[in-house]
Chains A and B, each alone.
Chain A
């Protein structure tokens, strides 16, 4: 058996594939952050809480309405997106004239509230959620046992990411969006309702977080605190990629998943810090981020 640095190459393939799966979550979440930032100029600290809400919607609709995973995958982004719309209308829109930092502080406060309320009602040890019937079991790929559900995670998140990229970069709607980011007054002059567009963009970005949450429910612990730490990692991902481009956010997400996966094999103790170290290196070499424009 061929081995690389003492690790059999076949095992390495397995680990890379797993890294890619984790990368899908980073990609989805950083994509949502980038979409929101592009339009609202706000860093959405609530993103982690909204990811958690996605997973909880999946649990709750199964528990109380008997709706399965597939339905949840459809309605969780809509429901959580709606709460996002409410948050934008009630709170965020009051902040656009102020320093961006207030947006960060406000969404941080909202994250505390949402997580605290969920914790009071559902405790913090977590809730059960099973892998959907259709995707149980897995394939033996020769070099590893790949659960069907993980394959689905990669496939579906790629579809969502590329779909988002396509809408924003290649359609008329996306063109309006990008134009409104650059020059809202001008776009308004074309007769487009910019505030509504902003609201819907926030709802959409939040919906992406909810999709990630539903996808995480069967494999990660569904608990009110599940989004608390991942959001900080995703922040680092965003700093590395720069929020200038949609594709940048996607590529960086997947790439960092891969790197983290490799670290888990060669130096597991550092697997949670590797992304931050990369962030420091990127800041030294390319302060604007890999895909970013200088700020």
Chain B
């Protein structure tokens, strides 16, 4: 009989699975913010993305439009299996209608497949993979904020045009780094620049000095950092130590966020050039947004990813309000593509047939410590890349939705 105790224990573990199985009556628009809450991207997306989604719902005033909106959130831990499992469960069991954010390419690509299979909606803000609107594009997915192509294009073109015509790449040795390097090199060469050399560095290297010495000896004007996260921070930090920028070479970060600059400090990051879709100190609307956002998220200023979540959720709710139905994911995305986008953070824009959201991108340079008025006052605008040139041309993406 005592065996029952053991059986009961196992049953309890299983019953936990059933606990959430009750069906929620629909008529509720349920937004699932799936993000990295604990690891590499937690600062640039994470709980900040949840806060941004909340603000978007608040500003939309759903009650006035007869909608009931709920937000759920979860941590995908940067693991594609965890992420796709959460999404499956969200859609099947919890009746979530739209998945937002997902700041890791591997997870985003996995979620992209699940959402397509279940005919739901996926609004990508955090992930960079341009494949999401290329070979892997889906009628259920909108890629909102930025992608690798846009970053490579923005930074590469602007630098070559302002004299940075010889490049040395320090590339993270995995698919993402290779793609970033390839896209940027193509832009550099198309604009008359030259790639002198490159070095492939294993992911999560802590010491870049050896590669920086090689870059120094190449005498290239620009050292392109085709890496991300901790790798970027380490390479910039050590470049400052080895006097790379002081020696007349410039660093170009191909995937750098304002949180990275914050982590580096201006003393180290000054002079760095990068492309972003949003900066909190751009105009009155963005400043007002930042002022509301900061107290909700550790006093941080919003990143472009978090701003993108706000903008994407706003547009999604508009489309649902217009359709008065959120059950057919494809129809909602089609409506989103049909309606022009307009919100205080990204201004007016459109969504292309391949799911690419189109807006201006901006080339920023990190200020010197003497130019900054205080924490988070980091960027000065070098150039605006007009929406028409900012993203990969529709025909180059190999998106089956376009050719078919």
B-binding residues in A (CB < 8 A): 11, 14-15, 18-19, 21-22, 116, 119-120, 123-128, 130-131, 137-138, 144-145, 147, 149-150, 216, 218-221, 223, 225-226, 229-230, 261, 264-265, 268-269, 271-273
Which of B205, B213, B217, B263 contacts A125, CB < 8 Å?
Answer: B263
Contact count band on B: 35 or more
* Distance A124 CA – B204 CA, assembled complex (angstroms): 13
* CB pair B265 A18 closer than 8 Å: no
A158–B205 CA distance with the chains assembled, in angstroms? 23
Task: Choose from B202, B217, B241, B268 the contact partner of A269 (Cβ within 8 Å).
Answer: B202
Residue ID in chain B nearest A127 by CB atoms: B263
Is B216 in the interface zone, CB < 8 Å from A?
A: yes
Question: Which positions in B face A, CB cutoff 8 Å?
Answer: 38-40, 42-44, 173, 199-202, 204-207, 209-211, 213-214, 216-217, 229-230, 233-234, 237-238, 241-243, 247, 259-260, 262-265, 267-268
A228, closest chain B residue (CB): B204
Using Cβ atoms and an 8 Å threshold, which residues of chain A touch B199?
268
Q: Which of chain A's residues has its CB closest to B230's CB?
A: A221
| Known interface pairs A125-B229, A125-B263; 8 further A-B residue pairs with C-beta atoms within 8 A, sorted by A's residue number | A18-B209, A124-B43, A125-B259, A128-B264, A138-B242, A145-B243, A219-B238, A261-B210
Asked if B233 and A221 sit within 8 Å, CB to CB, the answer is yes
Asked, given contacts A147-B242, A220-B234, A223-B230, whether A14 binds B213 with beta carbons under 8 Å apart, the answer is yes
In Å, the complex CA distance between A138 and B268 comes to 16
Closest 4 interchain pairs by CB?
Answer: A128-B265, A272-B202, A264-B210, A126-B263
Q: Which of A19, A216, A219, A225 is in CB contact (< 8 Å) with B230?
A: A225
CA distance A149 to B40 in the complex (A): 28
**How far is it, in angstroms, between the C-alpha of A123 and the C-alpha of B268 when the chains are bound?**
20
Interface Cβ pair total, 8 Å cutoff: 115
Which A residues lie within 8 Å of B173 (CB)?
A: 268-269
CB-contact partner of A226 in B42, B206, B238, B265, under 8 A = B206
Minimum CB–CB distance for A131 against chain B, Å: 6
Residue of A130, A220, A265 touching B267 (CB-CB under 8 A)? A130
The CA-CA distance from A275 to B268 in the complex, in Å, is 31
A125 and B209 form a contact (CB under 8 A): no
CA distance A126 to B44 in the complex (A): 12
CB distance from B370 to the nearest CB of A (A): 15
- Report the minimum CB–CB distance from B255 to chain A (whole Å): 13
Partner among A18, A116, A120, A219 whose Cβ is within 8 Å of the Cβ of B210: A18
Query: How many Å from the CB of B103 to the closest CB on chain A?
Result: 12
CA distance A230 to B206 in the complex (A): 9
Give the residue of A21, A119, A130, A226 whose beta carbon is less than 8 angstroms from that of B209: A21
Asked if residues A268 and B234 are in contact (CB atoms below 8 Å), the reply is no
Q: Are A221 and B263 in contact (CB under 8 A)?
A: yes
CA–CA, A169 and B39, complex, Å? 43
Q: Which residue of A lies closest to B210 (CB)?
A: A264
A191 to chain B, nearest CB (A): 46
Which of chain B's residues have a CB closer than 8 A to the CB of A147?
Answer: 241-243
Minimum CB–CB distance from B29 to chain A (whole Å) comes to 31
Q: How far is the CA of A28 from the CA of B349 in the complex (A)?
A: 55
Please indicate the chain A residues that have their CB under 8 angstroms from the CB of B43 in the complex: 123-125
B38: A residues at CB distance < 8 A: 116, 119-120, 124
CB distance from B58 to the nearest CB of A (A): 25
Residues of A within 8 A of B44 (CB): 125
Chain A nearest CB from B369 CB (Å) reads: 11
Nearest-CB residue, chain B, relative to A233? B206
| CA A229 to CA B206, docked complex, whole Å | 9
**Interface contact B210-A15, CB-CB below 8 Å:** yes
> Given the complex, which residues of B lie within 8 Å of A149, measured CB to CB?
241
A247 shortest CB reach to chain B, Å: 24
Residues from chain A with Cβ under 8 Å of B238 in the complex: 219
Q: Tell me the complex Cα distance, A261–B208, Å.
A: 11
Measured between C-beta atoms, what is the minimum distance from B168 to chain A in Å? 13
B201 with A268: CB separation less than 8 A: yes
Pairs across A and B, CB under 8 Å, 28 listed: A11-B217, A18-B213, A21-B207, A22-B207, A120-B38, A123-B43, A125-B233, A125-B260, A126-B260, A127-B263, A128-B263, A131-B241, A145-B216, A145-B242, A147-B243, A216-B206, A221-B206, A221-B234, A223-B230, A223-B233, A223-B263, A225-B230, A226-B206, A226-B230, A229-B204, A230-B206, A264-B210, A265-B214
What residue in chain A is nearest B206 (Cβ atoms)? Answer: A220
Q: Measured between C-beta atoms, what is the minimum distance from A136 to chain B in Å?
A: 9
> When the two chains form their complex, are residues B202 and A126 in contact, meaning their CB atoms are under 8 A apart?
no
Q: Which residues of B contact A272 (CB under 8 A)?
A: 202, 204-205
Whether B40 pairs with A124 at a CB distance below 8 angstroms is yes
Given A125-B260, A128-B263, answer yes or no on A264-B241 (Cβ-Cβ < 8 Å): no
Shortest Cβ distance from A60 into chain B, in angstroms?
Answer: 15
CB-based contact A144/B213 at 8 Å = yes
Q: Which residues of B have CB within 8 Å of A14? A: 213
Q: Which of B207, B264, B268 contacts A18 (CB 8 A)?
A: B207
Given A11-B213, A130-B268: A125 in contact with B40 (beta carbons within 8 A): yes
User: Which residues from chain B contact A137 at a C-beta distance below 8 Å?
Assistant: 243
For A138, A144, A150, A268, the residue with the greatest tally of chain B CB atoms inside 10 Å of its CB is: A268
Give the residue of B200, B209, B259 whose beta carbon is less than 8 angstroms from that of A268: B200
Chain B residues with CB under 8 A of A15: 210, 213
Q: What is the distance, in angstroms, from B88's C-beta to the closest C-beta of chain A? A: 27
Shortest Cβ distance from A120 into B: residue: B38
Most chain A CB within a 10 A radius of its CB, from B43, B207, B262, B265: B207
Residues of B near A19 (CB, < 8 A) are: 210
What's the Cα separation between A265 and B199 when bound, in Å?
9
CA distance A219 to B259 in the complex (A): 18
A219 touching B241 by the CB < 8 A rule?
A: yes
A271-B202 contact given A18-B213, A124-B40, A150-B209, CB 8 Å threshold: yes
Which residues of A lie under 8 Å from residue B217 when comparing CB positions?
11
Determine how close the nearest CB of chain B comes to the CB of A262; give it in whole angstroms.
9
Task: Tell me the minimal C-beta distance from A52 to chain B in angstroms.
Answer: 12
Q: Whole-angstrom distance between the alpha carbons of A147 and B262 in the complex?
A: 24
Chain B hits for A119, CB < 8 A:
38-39, 42
Given the interface pairs A225-B230, A269-B173, the reply to whether A123 lies near B200 with Cβ below 8 Å is no
Bound: A271/B210 CA distance, A:
11
